[in-house]
Amino acid sequence: MDALAQLELEGYVQAQGRSGTRVSVPAHAPPAPPTGALPLSAWAQRALAGQVEDAGGEYLVDFRVGQPVPDLYPEAAWTQALARRAAQALRAGPPDDPLGPLETRRALAAHLNAERGAQVTPDMILLTGGTQGALDALARVFLEPGRVAAVEDPTYPGARAALAATGAQVQPVAVDDRGVRPDRLPAQATLLYVTPGCQYPTGTALPAARRQALIHWTRDAGAFILEDDYAADLYHAARPPAVMQGVAPDRVILLGSFSKSLAPVTRSGFLVAPPEVVRVLAATRPLTDRVPGRLDALALSDVLSSGAYSRHLRRARATLTHRRDVLTHELATHLPGWTPHPAPGGLHLYLPLPPAWTEDRALNRAANHGVAVGAVAPLAQERHPPAVLLGFAHLNPEQLRGGAARLGRAWQDGRP
């Protein structure tokens, strides 16, 4: 029996005489169960509830954040490091260290101590596949129903979702033009998630006095700070502020990733925590995950220790600074009076909207002119002044100029 006859016998196709054959769904094929019929756990239901939908769509100019920036990635240095390490990674050897290769952790510790003002030894580092996986692991270890986690508001939605999925109460902490407000912190909490180097999404760097206030609060509340240093390597002209972990290594857990500064495909991240926390995470990780890819980790060690990463960052920072300045200038030209927050680092500008404007109206008007911008409302747990996000890193100067001109035509009349 040939394959087509077998498919017809099983009911997957139907012969139609001269019309040929068409696909058929067998009568005995069970229908896909609706989502509501799945016996989902409470964790899965909370995780699904925390998802933020991507609007999608095609635009002439797309300012939405989170897009890859391939012309900034050190392709040559990374591929050379991968090639050098490929044979070594494939050779049989001792079992992988649950924390990640020691030489990578040594290179990373040296980088963080020299460049970020951290206090790190290799036994304080756990290599991860990225910040999201680190957040999930920390949430599972420290949170449960009845406990409290505090987060900046607005903030990175993946952090809030990971913490909320445990069933813990997630309490928003207001952000102003100087960053997270210590006077709004809860009296007790287990974890506090912050982005002090470059607050996401507003771009504000947290002042020293507020950093000290957060650290004092951790000792009173018995909490750990989760310091997401996502923009450290994406600062523009100036050197980024030192990490809070360097001041309080016993109370601050530092999170970082190379997916934005190297390339998303590397999936190379890390967390820095007190050794006793790292030991717990290493012991519980085999239940949900394995050590990240050894090849990427070894290549990362070479890129860090050879100086290739530092050279790459100097070039990338110059490019980011130029693109940010182009967009800032064009906005001032086409939208006078619309002033974005100063952006010392990161890949986007935060643009507050004028009085009486709503984000929906701004997004819709921009879309009518072929331009996509990012909304801030989905990042906020409580009501926040309307604003939009303008990602600039992935666009060249010509695209930035054209996009700003289109936004000027969309928004210049000022009517809500």
> What's the pLDDT score for residue 202?
96
Asked whether residue 299 is domain-assigned, the answer is yes
Choosing from 290, 306, 322, the residue where a domain stops is: 306
Q: What is the CATH number of the domain that holds 276?
A: 3.40.640.10
pLDDT at 4 over 50: no
Q: Name the residue with higher pLDDT: 176 or 37.
A: 176
Q: How confident is the model at residue 413 (pLDDT cuts 50, 70, 90)?
A: low
Whether 193 and 241 share a structural domain: yes
For 84, 95, 282, 297, 415, the CA distances from 89, given in Å and listed in that order, are 10, 12, 21, 10, 60
Asked whether residue 30 is domain-assigned, the answer is no
> What's the pLDDT score for residue 239?
80
Task: Measure the CA–CA gap between 213 and 260, rounded to whole angstroms.
Answer: 30
- Mean pLDDT across the stretch 252-269? 87
Would you say 349 and 328 are in contact if contact means Cβ atoms under 8 Å apart? Answer: yes
Q: What is the CATH number of the domain that holds 381?
A: 3.90.1150.10
Q: How confident is the model at residue 145 (pLDDT cuts 50, 70, 90)?
A: very high
Whether 295 and 393 share a structural domain: no
For 156, 313, 318, the CA distances from 238, given in Å and listed in that order, are 24, 12, 10
Choosing from 306, 340, 373, the residue where a domain stops is: 306
> What's the pLDDT score for residue 25?
44
Whether 192 and 288 share a structural domain: yes
**Cβ neighbours of residue 37 closer than 8 Å, sequence gap 6 or more:** none
- Mean pLDDT across the stretch 103-107? 95
> What's the pLDDT score for residue 232?
85
> What's the pLDDT score for residue 35?
55
Task: Measure the CA–CA gap between 44 and 414, rounded to whole angstroms.
Answer: 44
- Mean pLDDT across the stretch 297-323? 91
Domain ranges, residue 330: 47-72+310-413
Whether 258 and 392 share a structural domain: no
Asked whether residue 194 is domain-assigned, the answer is yes
Asked whether residue 234 is domain-assigned, the answer is yes
Q: How confident is the model at residue 76 (pLDDT cuts 50, 70, 90)?
A: confident
Q: Name the residue with higher pLDDT: 6 or 411.
A: 411
Q: How confident is the model at residue 87 (pLDDT cuts 50, 70, 90)?
A: confident
Whether 403 and 288 share a structural domain: no
Whether 97 and 62 share a structural domain: no
The CA angle 374-327-310, to the nearest 5 degrees, is 95
Task: Measure the CA–CA gap between 55 and 360, rounded to whole angstroms.
Answer: 12
Q: How confident is the model at residue 67 (pLDDT cuts 50, 70, 90)?
A: confident
| Tokens 């920072």 -> residue | 317
pLDDT at 171 over 60: yes
Whether 223 and 340 share a structural domain: no
| Tokens 């009085």 -> residue | 355
Tens-digit pLDDT profile for residues 149-165: 999 999 999 999 999 99
Tens-digit pLDDT profile for residues 176-210: 999 999 999 999 999 999 999 999 999 999 999 99
pLDDT at 12 over 50: no
Asked whether residue 220 is domain-assigned, the answer is yes
Whether 239 and 157 share a structural domain: yes
> What's the pLDDT score for residue 27?
45
Other C-beta atoms closer than 10 Å to the C-beta of 25 total 9
Whether 212 and 297 share a structural domain: yes
| Domains in the chain, number | 2
> What's the pLDDT score for residue 175?
97
Task: Measure the CA–CA gap between 24 and 380, rounded to whole angstroms.
Answer: 47
Asked whether residue 20 is domain-assigned, the answer is no
> What's the pLDDT score for residue 382?
93
pLDDT at 278 over 70: yes
Asked whether residue 38 is domain-assigned, the answer is no
Would you say 278 and 255 are in contact if contact means Cβ atoms under 8 Å apart? Answer: no
Question: Which tokens sit at 296?
Answer: 């990427």
Mean pLDDT of the chain: 88
Other C-beta atoms closer than 10 Å to the C-beta of 409 total 14
Q: Name the residue with higher pLDDT: 299 or 54.
A: 299
Task: Measure the CA–CA gap between 170 and 100, rounded to whole angstroms.
Answer: 31
pTM of the model as a whole:
0.87
Start-to-end CA distance of the chain, whole Å, equals 69
Whether 276 and 342 share a structural domain: no
Kindly give the pairing relationship between strand 224-228 and strand 252-257.
parallel
pLDDT at 287 over 70: yes
Percent of the chain with pLDDT over 90: 64
> What's the pLDDT score for residue 14?
52
The 3-state DSSP class for residue 132 equals helix
Task: Measure the CA–CA gap between 241 and 194, rounded to whole angstroms.
Answer: 14
> What's the pLDDT score for residue 95?
61
Whether 352 and 229 share a structural domain: no
Whether 316 and 283 share a structural domain: no
pLDDT at 53 over 70: no
Q: How confident is the model at residue 343 (pLDDT cuts 50, 70, 90)?
A: confident
Q: How confident is the model at residue 69 (pLDDT cuts 50, 70, 90)?
A: confident
Choosing from 306, 326, 353, the residue where a domain stops is: 306
> What's the pLDDT score for residue 242?
95
